[in-house]
Structure 1
Amino acid sequence: MTLFWISSIVLIALSGVLVALPFIKKKENNDEALRDELNKALYKDRLSELEEETEEGLVADQQELIDDLKQSLLDDIPTEKQVSEHTQLNPWVVIIPSMLLTIALSYGLYAKFGAAEDVQQWQQVTSNLPALSKKLMSPEGASLSDDEMQDLTLALRTRLHYEPSDATGWLLLGRIALANRDIETAIGAMDKAYNLKPDDPDIMLGYAQSLMMSQEEVDQDTARATLGKLVQRNYMDVRVFSLLAFDAYERKDFAAAVRYWSIMQQMIGPQDERYQMLARSIENAQKQMGVTAADGKSVSVTINLAPQVKASSGAALIVSVHRADGSPMPVAAARYPLGSFPRTVVLDDGNSMMQGQKLSQLEEYVVRVRIDSDGNVATSQGDWYGESQATEMGQAVEVIVNTKY
């Protein structure tokens, strides 16, 4: 409110100057002086006319007419009393009432028709931005009421108006818009954040999430490309694979959806309550493909690295299941981000590679695990690998990666 009072005082002072200006710059040659100058000019013109008329013989008594003209001039000159009465008017008699009237009208009309309460509430909400942001980011963030969400949005917009280069602020505004299903605002805010920090993983994820909600195919393609960059960077976040799985399922790419949901299962582990929900999603996608895991048969593989194994963060983990006779052609295989170890992955018929041969049909098998360092599955030079013993279907397998090609 300080700025409001300063601005209003400056405007009222300016109005006062405009009111007083005519009195301050009042000229000394008032109306009476101007009238006197005009009478003199008329007198001289009339004298010239009388001389011409006398020369032409039109005037019989020139002097009498001149005397009458002089008398008329004297009668038109104001008296000293009239001049003093006119000049005795004090300019402050006009200036002070005018200023008081201006102040009364200005603040009175603003109090009646202005938005003083709204401005005050807006400034209060803006000052409360840190507290609202902290509450939103806390575990209890979902407890924010609708009014608090609106206040937080208003405060964020105000801050971003003055600090448009705040990428974190745009990200937070985009997340709020996504929570409110305001897709247009979410995409706009996330786009600004992405342009400011295109390499920030959290911003990339939020940007992709907002574009996934768009109905435009171009936006959805951009979202897939952005999520793909995160996967290539080995950004292990369940939300990335959840978005990819949802998108794949919507596009009826059920095999990809199963693959992404399986990765999510491995990331959260069986103890997480979401594990069974993902299992149902996988089962549903497999039904859509006409694939079922016979009697629920699957291969659970626990993987660990030997101490001497060194792998770059950009490497990939390839797990393949082969017939127990040592056939090089895998019956089932899956590719995962490297992640951390030890870890457990699960393969089932959704990972089958051979037509007419399902993983669940095997009675015995061996599991091979390879760390692919160059991204090309056809080359193995310099890669680390490990292999299990022949195992019967239904038994857990443990593989230690300890050998280098």
Structure 2
Amino acid sequence: MTLFWIASIILIVMSIVLIALPIINKKSNHDEALRDELNKALYKDRLSELKEETEEGLVENQQDLIADLKQSLLDDIPNEAAKSEETSIHPLAVLIPSVVLVVALSYGMYAKFGAADAVKQWQDVSGNLPALSKKLMSPQSGELSTDEMEDLTLALRTRLYYEPNDSTGWLLLGRIALANRDVTTAIGSMKKAYELDNTNQDIQLGYAQALMLSQDDVDQDKARSLLGNLIQHDYVDIRVFSLLAFDAYQRKDFDAAVRYWSIMQQMIGPQDERYEMLSRSIENAQKQMGATSIKGTSVPVTISLADQVNTTDDAVVIVSVHTADGSPMPVAAARYPLGTFPRTVVLDDTNSMMQGRKLSQLEEYIVRVRLDSDGNVATKDGDWFGESETAKMGEPVEVIVDKQY
């Protein structure tokens, strides 16, 4: 507001100067003098004409005409009172009311039509951006009301106008648009955030989520590509599987939808209130593809490290699923970067190692985890490992790495 008042004062001062200059620099009116000079010139010209006309015999009563001409000249000359009449109004008597009128009219019109209350609210909302952003990013703080969402949108747009390279701001704006089902704004905001920081997993996920709502096949293909990249990371957000399941169900790939929903169940566990909802979704998908029973077809493995385990930065995690009898030949295996622990990975039929034998065909199995320190799977000296108890297909497995070769 300080800038507004400074600017308004400068404009009003300029207006007052423009009004004051003509009043202060008022010039005298010489119209009467100029008219006298003109009348004298016309009188002399007419006398010359009368003289010529008299000499030519065209005029008989020259003196009478001269008398009439003199009388006309006297009638056209203003009397002394009119000539000497000059305004006695002082310039300040005009200037001061003009200044008061300009100031009163300017601020009065602004108070009436300038939306001062809206401007103040806009500035208050912009100042409240950190608190609103924190509440949006913290689910435990409760959901934002409709008015708070509108305020946050206004504050974000204001900030992004001045800081267009703020990827976090574009991400937040995209999330608000997603909540309001404003697909166009969501895609545009998430795309801008992705262009500014395409390595941020939250931005990749948000961009994929926005593209999933598009009716354009190209956008949806881009979303699947982003989700496919996210699923390769050490830690996979459960929302990635949710989007993949939603997409698979929309494409009537019910088998894939069941697989992703099953993975989600294994990640959250039966104690989570979303577990039953996912069960209903799985059951619905199974009915759509004609199945009568639900059976887990993937193996979720939670890996933890014992306190004495030492790792190197170039170590990798090798997870293998074996038959319940402990056969050294794995039915399925996968290799992951070291990452952080504890962590959960999921193996399915795509990780099968044997021709003609799928992981989902096992009824019981054990899981072995090895931290390979040199990147060579053929060598084991000094590697840390752990093994699970026997588990049934679909059951989550926990493995503690606590032994060393």
Do these two structures clear the TM 0.5 threshold for a shared fold by scoring above it?
A: yes
Counterpart Cα distance in 1 of 2:2 and 2:242: 50
Cα RMSD after superposing both structures: 4.8
Cα deviations across residues 12-48 of structure 1 (Å, max 9, x unaligned)?
A: 4444444444434433343223323432443344345
Aligned 8 A contact 1:191 1:207 in 2:
yes
Counterpart Cα distance in 2 of 1:293 and 1:385: 39
Aligned 8 A contact 2:177 2:186 in 1:
yes
Report 1:159-308 matches (<5 A): 159-265=159-265, 267-268=267-268, 272-274=272-274, 277-278=277-278, 281-282=281-282, 285=285, 288-289=288-289, 307=309
Look up the SS of the partner of 1:86 in the other structure.
coil
Look up the SS of the partner of 1:49 in the other structure.
helix
In structure 1, stretches of 5+ residues that fail to align are 374-378
Deviates more, 1:242-251 or 1:1-10: 1-10
Deviation at 1:74, TM superposition (A): 4.6
Distance 1:310 1:68, change over 3 A: same
Deviation at 1:334, TM superposition (A): 7.0
Distance 1:8 1:388, change over 3 A: closer
Counterpart Cα distance in 2 of 1:281 and 1:372: 39
Counterpart Cα distance in 1 of 2:288 and 2:349: 13
Aligned 8 A contact 2:301 2:344 in 1:
yes
Counterpart Cα distance in 2 of 1:342 and 1:129: 35
Aligned 8 A contact 2:368 2:399 in 1:
no
Counterpart Cα distance in 2 of 1:267 and 1:295: 16
Deviation at 1:212, TM superposition (A): 1.9
The corresponding residue for 2:39 is: 39
Cα deviations across residues 124-152 of structure 1 (Å, max 9, x unaligned)?
A: 32333333333333444324332222222
Counterpart Cα distance in 2 of 1:52 and 1:150: 94
Counterpart Cα distance in 2 of 1:393 and 1:227: 29
Counterpart Cα distance in 1 of 2:386 and 2:113: 81
Report 1:290-369 matches (<5 A): 307=309, 310=312, 319-321=320-322, 330=331, 340-341=340-341, 362=362
Distance 1:26 1:140, change over 3 A: same
Aligned 8 A contact 1:227 1:240 in 2:
yes
Look up the SS of the partner of 1:205 in the other structure.
helix
The corresponding residue for 2:84 is: 84
Cα deviations across residues 232-282 of structure 1 (Å, max 9, x unaligned)?
A: 454532222322232223223344334444554555456655456556555
Deviates more, 1:292-301 or 1:133-142: 292-301
Counterpart Cα distance in 1 of 2:26 and 2:304: 98
Distance 1:366 1:169, change over 3 A: closer
Aligned 8 A contact 1:258 1:286 in 2:
yes
The corresponding residue for 2:130 is: 130
The corresponding residue for 2:26 is: 26
Aligned 8 A contact 1:293 1:348 in 2:
no
Distance 1:298 1:191, change over 3 A: closer
Report 1:89-168 matches (<5 A): 89-168=89-168
Distance 1:225 1:398, change over 3 A: closer
Distance 1:291 1:345, change over 3 A: farther
Counterpart Cα distance in 1 of 2:294 and 2:399: 23
Instruction: Tell me how many residue pairs correspond in the alignment.
Output: 398
Counterpart Cα distance in 1 of 2:228 and 2:296: 31
Distance 1:16 1:282, change over 3 A: same
Look up the SS of the partner of 1:58 in the other structure.
coil
Aligned 8 A contact 2:303 2:401 in 1:
yes
Aligned 8 A contact 1:364 1:393 in 2:
yes
Aligned 8 A contact 1:39 1:73 in 2:
yes
Aligned 8 A contact 1:190 1:207 in 2:
yes
Cα deviations across residues 94-121 of structure 1 (Å, max 9, x unaligned)?
A: 4433443444444444444542333333
Counterpart Cα distance in 2 of 1:301 and 1:165: 40
Deviation at 1:326, TM superposition (A): 5.4
Deviation at 1:365, TM superposition (A): 5.5
Counterpart Cα distance in 1 of 2:390 and 2:130: 58
Look up the SS of the partner of 2:236 in the other structure.
coil
Report the TM-score, using the length of structure 1 for normalisation.
0.73
Look up the SS of the partner of 1:170 in the other structure.
helix
Counterpart Cα distance in 1 of 2:204 and 2:386: 37
Look up the SS of the partner of 1:214 in the other structure.
coil
Counterpart Cα distance in 2 of 1:350 and 1:83: 112
Aligned 8 A contact 1:303 1:400 in 2:
yes
